[in-house]
Copies of this chain bind each other. A is one copy, B any other.
């Protein structure tokens, strides 16, 4: 009879702390601007992580700005967490200027990292083991006194435990005594193997009953995902991850593998949104794009090849019985089998977006849906990409559904830009119309900003609501061969009305034209969505489902 050698001590649910914006931003060649940080935070909140560790106040002004900026949005699921180290040696916590900045960030939760490896205390911090305990205690105590909840991140815990387990445990006990709400065991050098992680985590969980224990794993031995899972199997109830595993050196535990492993395989609930898992591939893509990295097609769960079958023997078998060759259904993580006809799964995406963004219930056999997909496909072949620009795809769908009555047209535009060694200046002129025509001009430094200002000024006459719409992000990509200045450019613009975000895209060899088109679409989408919302309000008042 089969005996299990390793006990599964996994709790029924775990908390997910995503640190893409903090630890992920330590990755080589990765830096997020403030708009990217906001977009990623909102996407993380949507899939339902519990905590978003977003930056280290005091380390750079961008992080501080983010904590202000994110307050403009209402998050549904996640708590924003500021990150900081223990106070400096020989200074009281209230005197430490960095801790002052952490309080200024005004988050409910703070992660404090502190040393738990004696070697680091004596060789790196150059202080005594005793003073390090005081630093841990004082910092946590001070933050607790100032109303914060504290996650204590025990840096190098596993290395420290291997060499001096007594001191490592003393650091944890000190943090608990000071009031830490979570204790996180970090494999900062990333060199642990899964059986070691299980042994140490289970020991700590049993030694510190009632204390929520977390794990924070790096990937230097190629085991970050496995080590995180083994931490949970050993009884951890809190995991630290980054999207796509981005992070310093070889990266962190990948949210996109850890979360489905927990939810689909261990039966441990990890996300607050029950449908969050289905948005995993989209989240992965967003973070790659905003980080300026090329997606890894071989990535587990969310990679383009994760459900691609090449060997003839397998393809044949899959058509007979998917479970025979797929560890999970691709749809469960928002991915798709690459054998499937893409038209079909494209339809599922488009229908899902129409439902989520516009409240429209459509059938994938609807001829309008199929016509829209065909046009989207053609545009993708020309260099368009709609994955992060859902509004532009929906406008095509709305047009095919007969719901896109053009409210206004761009009739003519002209830009003059000129400069010399002293600088440059631009003028933009725009004529828009909806029967009557409106011509306006504006100036700016760059040509796009000049013509955008002119466009807004002209549109105010036709669409007064344009006042409510502001830009959150403006991005320029070279979609294809970027050999020449005459390349196509793809512009991606993200808008907000203070409540929601939406993104449009346009491709042209002329950056001004691409920008104007994406701007026009963003305003148009806003107008149509508002109209649909009003209609839905009326329909719902009549208790009718807004089915088309």
Q: A199-B6, A475-B478 are in contact. Are A300 and B222 (CB under 8 A)?
A: yes
Tell yes or no: A410 within 8 A of B by CB.
Answer: yes
Q: A198-B5, A311-B248, A449-B485 are in contact. Are A410 and B420 (CB under 8 A)?
A: yes
Interface residues of A in 188-226 (CB under 8 A from B): 188-191, 193-195, 198-199, 202-203, 219-223, 225-226
Contact of A220 among B4, B33, B124, B327 (CB under 8 A): B327
Q: How far is the CA of A190 from the CA of B257 in the complex (A)?
A: 13
Copies of this chain, how many?
Answer: 2
Complex: chain B residue closest to A326, CB-CB: B189
Inter-chain contacts of A6 with B (CB < 8 A): 5-6, 195, 198-199
Interface residues of A in 20-64 (CB under 8 A from B): 26-29, 33-36
A414–B413 CB distance below 8 A: no
Looking at the complex, which of A143-151, A396-404, A466-474 is the stretch in contact with chain B? Answer: A466-474
Inter-chain contacts of A418 with B (CB < 8 A): 412-415
Inter-chain contacts of A473 with B (CB < 8 A): 482-483
Inter-chain contacts of A509 with B (CB < 8 A): 445-446, 449
Contact of A476 among B409, B447, B476 (CB under 8 A): B476
Q: Mark A508-524, 1 if CB is under 8 A from B, else 0.
A: 11111101100000000
B195–A124 CB distance below 8 A: no
Inter-chain contacts of A447 with B (CB < 8 A): 415, 417, 447, 510-512
Report the minimum CB–CB distance from A73 to chain B (whole Å).
15
Inter-chain contacts of A188 with B (CB < 8 A): 325
Q: How far is the CA of A423 from the CA of B165 in the complex (A)?
A: 71
| Max chain B Cβ within 10 angstroms of own Cβ: one of A254, A292, A417 | A417
Q: A250-B305, A511-B511 are in contact. Are A27 and B444 (CB under 8 A)?
A: no
Q: How far is the CA of A516 from the CA of B426 in the complex (A)?
A: 15
Inter-chain contacts of A199 with B (CB < 8 A): 2, 4-6
Interface residues of A in 122-176 (CB under 8 A from B): 123-124, 156, 165
Report the minimum CB–CB distance from A208 to chain B (whole Å).
14
Tell yes or no: A349 within 8 A of B by CB.
Answer: no
Inter-chain contacts of A513 with B (CB < 8 A): 419, 423-424
Looking at the complex, which of A227-235, A277-285, A363-371, A534-542 is the stretch in contact with chain B? Answer: A227-235
Q: Mark A290-305, 1 if CB is under 8 A from B, else 0.
A: 0010001111110101
Contact of A195 among B191, B230, B297, B479 (CB under 8 A): B230
Interface residues of A in 289-334 (CB under 8 A from B): 292, 296-301, 303, 305-311, 313-314, 316-317, 320-321, 323-328
Contact of A417 among B190, B266, B414, B424 (CB under 8 A): B414
Q: How far is the CA of A325 from the CA of B191 in the complex (A)?
A: 10
Tell yes or no: A486 within 8 A of B by CB.
Answer: yes
B416–A414 CB distance below 8 A: yes
Tell yes or no: A107 within 8 A of B by CB.
Answer: no
| Max chain B Cβ within 10 angstroms of own Cβ: one of A123, A305, A452 | A305
Tell yes or no: A70 within 8 A of B by CB.
Answer: no
Report the minimum CB–CB distance from A25 to chain B (whole Å).
9
Report the minimum CB–CB distance from A510 to chain B (whole Å).
4
Inter-chain contacts of A257 with B (CB < 8 A): 221-222
Complex: chain B residue closest to A415, CB-CB: B417
A410–B421 CB distance below 8 A: yes
A28–B305 CB distance below 8 A: yes
Q: How far is the CA of A309 from the CA of B474 in the complex (A)?
A: 31
Q: How far is the CA of A477 from the CA of B6 in the complex (A)?
A: 50
Complex: chain B residue closest to A300, CB-CB: B222
Tell yes or no: A481 within 8 A of B by CB.
Answer: yes
A222–B254 CB distance below 8 A: yes
Binding site for B on A (CB under 8 A): 2-8, 26-29, 33-36, 85, 117, 119-120, 123-124, 156, 165, 188-191, 193-195, 198-199, 202-203, 219-223, 225-227, 229-230, 233-234, 245-246, 248-251, 254, 257-258, 260-261, 265-266, 292, 296-301, 303, 305-311, 313-314, 316-317, 320-321, 323-328, 340, 387, 409-421, 423-424, 426, 444-449, 452, 471-487, 489, 508-513, 515-516
A119-B323, A445-B486, A452-B485 given. 6 additional CB < 8 A pairs? Answer: A28-B298, A156-B324, A226-B227, A246-B298, A413-B418, A485-B515
